[in-house]
Structure 1
């Protein structure tokens, strides 16, 4: 019987182990590739820039490193176009081999991003898009959100409107996911408190011909109106609502985007309007004051909710990377660390649910001049119900 010498086999095994160890160490020494898939042109360009600014501000505060790794950015303009979303996110994953993706603003684009991230097991942190499905049916161990679900501000306002004694409400929004989900959140809280939504009015996105619907509101004579509009649509709706004489007789309430980034154009027609969101223009806390000061120094601009969400996306990434010593392949350890963390945000500290959506205070704000001023907390530590999440 011939006995083969063992030394070469042991040497081979040792060499293989050394190679694996060296590869892991080498990966830790390399920059972390962060893919920014945000709108850099078009209607939402300013929002994409604010998110990136906030993200970079936090990284710079950490000396340019997260989890011991320097950051290399790769940018793709998503153009807020869902038709281009899959190709764009695949460029980051397959061509650029990014370690993590940060994006985006538009919910339709974010849904495509979430599918690719889920299929490829790439880390994704959503710094704005509120589509409920991202942390609902599309939830996954590698998908996180640093902003809100569309349901959350709606639910908080439902509680506010009920507490203010209104019994019958008309809702009005564009007929698309964000509007539908915001109204659903409002109804969940308002009807639970005994209120009744007597009519749900909507029009196709991005139509802004409101007159016929405003006439219907006037004829219905509800106690109040709840709405979800954003951007140019929000500007026109607020102005048309006031012009129709409704502001004087039927109180108007909305999700925060009705008056965020729109007050300059809305002018006096927005004065006094109440909205709900997870941030206000004057939180006046030491944490927020410091953030606003550093942001203004860095970018010569005042930060908004989008900058906060970008900043907190970087904070969440930093928490996960610290726990895994910069190793993004350890998805379970990354997720466990983020779920255990208390994120020290300018909006106020928040935690992250099992579905990876912020559990956060939603604030009641009132328009005064050019600011959404803090009135108080509408709902404390509000968690999205994460309907359909199986994780």
Structure 2
């Protein structure tokens, strides 16, 4: 797939220097040449909306900082990754080797991210992950040039167990799809729930993306747990919420989940989502000035409401601005660039967060309850949650 070029502005000095054949020293090139940003995101298919939201948030962050990075004009190269892992390495290689991007922002899908990750580790190009929560990227395969502005799949559920036990729900059934994201979300839940004194009486799963839940819901009812915890997302999450309510379980067995259970599906789920409790690092209704201003700015710029994906894209932009400014636009100054990115505090719509040594956010996780089709924040489930970064050996 051909990438498409998007140029914010071009300086006359760049054109003049190129046409005259002058060879500029590196510091001069950093001031006069465009800084190339590759956006490798899904713009079609199931994950198109998250991909668009990430790009919008990223562009908004740059626009609010003068449209430049470290004093350099910005040139965008876009590739629709189609959420297709089979094309991940090929697309990332094209952006890095053909389009010569200085930084690669992507992606949403964890399978695609593993292709990007291989290219980033092989070439040394700076990679900022605005969504994909796959553990290995900031665990066993962590790298100095790879930074994430979203979460690991275990992070939201690392804060889920204690609120459940605090509410008297000491016996739980877990249910998810049998795939990597579900397994990684379970890791966080198992740790937090058992450490809080809870017991997981059954772990249930079905093949991804199967949404035939009925037999498993019947099984859940037979166990009579205090609560059910789960990981589902997208259309499958909406179907699970509707089926859970249709089976009458929402009246007798409280439902909890990683926050993606109720992200972007509340209209589709309707009344079935009411009362469901989830944990996540953001909520549309988060009542802090930074979030209110961000939401106003986003609506003004894009005539659409932002979501968690827009926030993560926005924070990817803020992080890159901090790094580029610290090295005055010279991203080849890698030690100083990485130090600036590692040491950054991001003033985010989700609340301020810092970067872990494994290059993953250390962030508050909120407890949310669906009230009148809104993920209402009812408290902080856990402050400053850090992924354990198991196996990360940086340097």
How many angstroms apart in 2 are the aligned matches of 1:286 and 1:78? 35
Q: Which residue does 1:171 correspond to in 2?
A: 174
Larger Rg: 1
Q: Which residue does 1:39 correspond to in 2?
A: 42
Instruction: Spell out, residue by residue over 1:174-203, the C-alpha distance to the aligned partner (whole angstroms, 9 max, x if none).
Output: 011111111110110111112111111011
For these two proteins, the number of residue pairs brought into alignment is 373
Quick one: which of 374, 377, 380 aligns to 2:377? 374
- SS of 2:89's partner is helix
Quick one: which of 122, 125, 128 aligns to 1:125? 128
Q: Which residue does 2:327 correspond to in 1?
A: 324
Q: Which residue does 1:390 correspond to in 2?
A: 393
Instruction: Spell out, residue by residue over 1:206-226, the C-alpha distance to the aligned partner (whole angstroms, 9 max, x if none).
Output: 011111111110111111111
Gap regions ≥5 residues in structure 1: 1-18
- SS of 1:384's partner is coil
How many angstroms apart in 1 are the aligned matches of 2:165 and 2:123? 44
Ranges of 4+ aligned residues in structure 1 off by more than 3 Å: none
How many angstroms apart in 2 are the aligned matches of 1:28 and 1:131? 36
- SS of 1:387's partner is coil
1:152 and 2:138 are equivalent in the alignment: no
Q: Which residue does 2:195 correspond to in 1?
A: 192
Instruction: Spell out, residue by residue over 1:136-155, the C-alpha distance to the aligned partner (whole angstroms, 9 max, x if none).
Output: 11210100000011111011
Instruction: Spell out, residue by residue over 1:256-304, the C-alpha distance to the aligned partner (whole angstroms, 9 max, x if none).
Output: 1100000000000001111110001111211111111110000111111
Deviation at 1:159, TM superposition (A): 1.9
Instruction: Spell out, residue by residue over 1:216-269, the C-alpha distance to the aligned partner (whole angstroms, 9 max, x if none).
Output: 101111111110000110011000011111111111000111000000000000
Matches within 5 A, 1:352-363: 352-363=355-366
Matches within 5 A, 1:24-63: 24-63=27-66
Q: Which residue does 2:113 correspond to in 1?
A: 110
How many angstroms apart in 2 are the aligned matches of 1:125 and 1:383? 18
How many angstroms apart in 1 are the aligned matches of 2:26 and 2:322? 24
Q: Which residue does 2:104 correspond to in 1?
A: 101
- SS of 2:159's partner is helix
Instruction: Spell out, residue by residue over 1:111-135, the C-alpha distance to the aligned partner (whole angstroms, 9 max, x if none).
Output: 1111110110000000001111111
Instruction: Spell out, residue by residue over 1:327-367, the C-alpha distance to the aligned partner (whole angstroms, 9 max, x if none).
Output: 11122211211222211001000000000000000001111
Q: Which residue does 1:333 correspond to in 2?
A: 336
- Provide TM-score, normalisation by structure 1: 0.94
- Provide TM-score, normalisation by structure 2: 0.93
How many angstroms apart in 2 are the aligned matches of 1:95 and 1:162? 53
C-alpha contact (below 8 Å) 1:141/1:331 kept by paired residues: no
Q: Which residue does 1:81 correspond to in 2?
A: 84
Q: Which residue does 1:216 correspond to in 2?
A: 219
Moved more, 368-377 or 268-277: 368-377
Deviation at 1:168, TM superposition (A): 1.0
How many angstroms apart in 2 are the aligned matches of 1:381 and 1:97? 37
Q: Which residue does 1:269 correspond to in 2?
A: 272
How many angstroms apart in 2 are the aligned matches of 1:328 and 1:316? 13
Q: Which residue does 2:255 correspond to in 1?
A: 252
Q: CA RMSD in A?
A: 1.1
Give the structure with the higher percent helix. Answer: 1
Q: Which residue does 1:9 correspond to in 2?
A: none
How many angstroms apart in 1 are the aligned matches of 2:196 and 2:270? 33
Q: Which residue does 2:292 correspond to in 1?
A: 289
Quick one: which of 142, 145, 160 aligns to 1:142? 145
- SS of 1:374's partner is strand
